[in-house]
Chains A and B, each alone.
Chain A
Amino acid sequence: MRTSLHAAAWVACGVPLAAQAADAGGTAVSHHLITYAVFGLVIASTLLITWFASRSNRTAGDFYTAGGGIGPAKNGLAIAGDYLSAAAFLGASGLIALYGFDGMIYLVGFFAAFIPVLLFIAEPCRNLGRYTIGDVLAARNGFRATKAVSAVSAVVVALAYMIPQIVGGAVIVRGLVGIDYNVSVCGVGALMLVYVACGGMKATTWVQVIKAVLLIGTSFVLVVLAWLPFGFHVPAFMDAVVHSPFVQAHVAQLSAAHGLTGDALGWRFLEPGLYLNKPLELLSLGLALVLGTAAMPHILMRLFTVKDAKAARQSVMWAMVGIGVCHLSIVVIGFAAAYFVGAPLIASLDKGGNLAAPLLAQALTGGQGSVGGDLMLAFIAAVAFATIVAVVAGLTLAAASSLAHDVYVGAIKGGRASERQQVRAARVATLAVGLVAIAVSILERGQNVAQLVGLGYAVAASANLPALVLTLYWRRTTTQGVVVGIVGGTLAAIVLVLVSPNMTYPAQVRAQALQQVAEFDRQLAAAPAGAAPQQLLTSRAAAQAAADAIAPDATSLVGLSAPLVSLRNPGIISIPIGFLLVILVSLCTRDATARKRWAELVVRRETGYGAISAVEH
């Protein structure tokens, strides 16, 4: 159960756990020419747009925020494109297909997370900031110190979120259409560098808009195809899911459904607890999601691309519409996959269920091996690929802007740099971030990097959010408090993950293997003398070998033999730590500047006086 909880947490956080998919052998597509044609079409169209966008990129403002001239509806769609990761589409639909209700409540958290963005963050940030979260913090706090620390946490969050996207995405693309892992990583990396370095925010926005439209459109088509046999009568569809022998047989195998039979099994699919049996873990994850999203650098950055605060809140509203429609479609896709494809096939290709949506598409349009089915599957794979590239491009731009604008122009040059220097710094930073991400992703091949996504959310919620919220809304906040809060919140989240059950504990793995050996010994002793228990002997030997391979005193990465905390999601501990640090240090220190600027901050926050104007004429 613990491993499955783990899988659910990270899949839902946006990471495809498809490592098994690729190793399951073969790919899901048999008509490769179609696949390459569809992929080529999607990529060519985005490159064309980048070319157009790059011709009008002149200033640093163009590069970071498209001159602040993007309309709210378009920006809202781009936020949705930034936010709807491939794994929200693939991972969450798979979780619903395998675990019903529990998959659904994960997805909901990602939507609910936008309400704090809308209510507390969007307008004040647009009123006070220019390109980054560092700008907002520096509106009141000490310029260099705030800029430097906020950039560090922004880059940590962006990289932690980005690398699993690239790794998981490459694995999925390989599983679906057989493109080699390294080629796929380099492809994603090269494309994202082209989009961001050449096209800046304009091209990135277009890539995200295209991706959002493709993803929402594809989901919608799948919903229509799935509901067609039921005459679009939702209760009939859900009733069919409950009565599906596929679903009932699958639920019967889960330990949480012990003792149930017949339709009770189908109903159990729609009840909580098949996957997540720890409400505290769910609460902790929910907190990190709801509070972390509001401080994600790539989401915040998009708020600066519009004209004013009003346009910023309209953007968030449009984003909620796009994300909501897509999520509701994903819910239907998940249940439809459980009904039409069935959990055994989904789980056999990938234990995390990531291939549920593509398999459903294939099943609804002619089945495996048919031209229609393969065309649809290739299309979904291309959409997933575009999705990864769009999300990664947004993150790269956010990390690069923090490095170039906050660290180089802000902390190092003290805010004085020419337009040319700024643009060059932004491009160099983009290249650096992109190369680091690609290199790490290739090195991490075959590793479980999934915990990084949870870490990204936890750092955002524990470091950036307390600093941001208290700077905006608490009069006594000081620069010292903000600096200590960001550093402390980041460290708290990282340390809590390092001592959590997310890490591998060799001693525990060894103990588990030895337990298996003992179990096999018991079975061997109980087996009748005549029946040759060859299979038992082989399994026993394998378990013994696994145990022998680990030294009895082996420890985890940080030297532990067992986790210190039982929570996989550190949010419920690290978020209060972040807030407490800012509050306590602020109460103990004096910051005359921060106090003096409070009146200005409140007035600007509320009214937008002196906000960085939109398009420069």
Chain B
Amino acid sequence: MAKSEIDWEAVLASEHFRQLARRRRNTVVVLGVLAALYYFSIPALIAWAPEVFRIRLAAGINLGTVFAVSQYPFGGVIAYVFMRRTAAIDRAAAGIADDRAQVGLAVAEEHHAY
């Protein structure tokens, strides 16, 4: 590994890298907050608004059951959006690899079309 050949500070300071890091951070933070809100609204609603989960929607189905089960598709949506966004960021990151070809970076990422 040719670690020493890379000027980490310079990469860190470069506009391209900062932009990518910011994009990734925004994606992760937004999705993380959404996921946390959705999951922790279960104990919150049970504690502060217990009647919400008792609302009956159809024969044998109430809002609580639907909300609990909906955590699964919601998690799926979060994961899907994350995969899409990071794939785009990866494609942009492959540009950095071209800039600094000292290290063998997984350029293969470029070939993945999402």
Contacts and interface: CB of A to CB of B under 8 A. Distances in A.
A400 interface: no
A270 B6 contact: no
A411 B28 CA distance: 34
Given A272-B53, A324-B75, A324-B76, A235 B59 contact: yes
Contact of A599 (B3, B9, B59, B106): B9
Contacts of A123: 86
A533 interface: no
A279 B43 contact: yes
B42 interface: yes
Contacts of B59: 235-236, 238-239, 242
Interface string B54-66: 1010111110110
B93 A606 contact: yes
B1 A610 contact: yes
B75 A603 contact: no
B32 A112 contact: no
Given A108-B68, A271-B53, A324-B75, A609 B105 contact: yes
Given A286-B40, A610-B103, A119 B60 contact: no
B60 A118 contact: no
Given A104-B68, A239-B59, A331-B69, A290 B6 contact: no
B93 A607 contact: yes
Contact of B64 (A240, A270, A286, A610): A270
A125 to B, nearest CB: 14
Contact of B62 (A236, A270, A316, A609): A270
Contact of B46 (A267, A279, A290): A279
Interface string B1-38: 11100101101100001001100100010011001100
A105 B46 CA distance: 11
Contacts of A519: none
A321 B80 CA distance: 11
Interface in A234-290: 234-243, 267, 270-273, 279-280, 282-283, 286, 290
Contacts of A321: 76
A196 interface: no
Most A CB within 10 A of own CB, among B11, B47, B60, B65 = B60
Contact of B60 (A239, A316, A328): A239
A603 B8 contact: yes
Interface string B97-112: 1000001111001001
B71 A112 contact: yes
A313 B83 contact: yes
A101 B65 contact: yes
A108 B109 CA distance: 33
Nearest to B3: A610
Nearest to B29: A119
A123 B78 CA distance: 16
A235 B60 contact: yes
A186 B11 CA distance: 54
A273 B20 contact: no
A406 interface: no
Contacts of A145: none
A609 B39 contact: no
A267 B71 contact: no
B50 to A, nearest CB: 7
A101 B64 contact: yes
B105 A119 contact: no
A112 B35 contact: yes
Interface in A169-199: none
A135 to B, nearest CB: 14
A610 B105 CA distance: 8
A115 interface: yes
Given A111-B72, A120-B28, A607-B105, A238 B61 contact: yes
Interface string A577-600: 000000000000000000000011
Contacts of B88: none
Contacts of A286: 39-40, 42-43
A327 interface: yes
Contact of B72 (A240, A327, A599, A609): A327
A571 B21 CA distance: 31
B36 to A, nearest CB: 8
Nearest to A321: B76
A260 B35 CA distance: 36
A205 interface: no
Contacts of B90: 310
A238 B71 contact: no
Most A CB within 10 A of own CB, among B11, B72, B76, B104 = B72
Contact of B12 (A104, A267, A603): A603
Nearest to A283: B43
A272 B52 CA distance: 11
Contacts of B50: 272-273
Contacts of A290: 36, 39
A527 to B, nearest CB: 41
B82 A119 contact: yes
Q: Which 7 A-B residue pairings sit nearest by Cβ, starting from the closest?
A: A238-B60, A239-B60, A279-B47, A599-B8, A600-B8, A239-B59, A599-B12
Interface of B: 1-3, 6, 8-9, 11-12, 17, 20-21, 24, 28, 31-32, 35-36, 39-40, 42-44, 46-47, 50, 53-54, 56, 58-62, 64-65, 68-69, 71-72, 75-76, 78-79, 82-83, 86-87, 90, 93, 96-97, 103-106, 109, 112
Interface of A: 101, 104-105, 108-109, 111-112, 114-116, 118-120, 123, 234-243, 267, 270-273, 279-280, 282-283, 286, 290, 307-308, 310, 313-314, 316-317, 320-321, 324, 327-328, 331, 599-600, 602-603, 606-610, 613
13 contacts: A104-B69, A115-B39, A272-B53, A273-B46, A273-B50, A280-B47, A310-B87, A310-B109, A320-B75, A600-B3, A606-B93, A607-B20, A610-B1
Given A238-B59, A606-B21, 17 more contacts: A105-B68, A116-B32, A119-B82, A237-B60, A243-B60, A270-B60, A273-B50, A279-B43, A283-B43, A286-B40, A310-B87, A328-B69, A599-B8, A599-B11, A600-B8, A609-B103, A610-B6
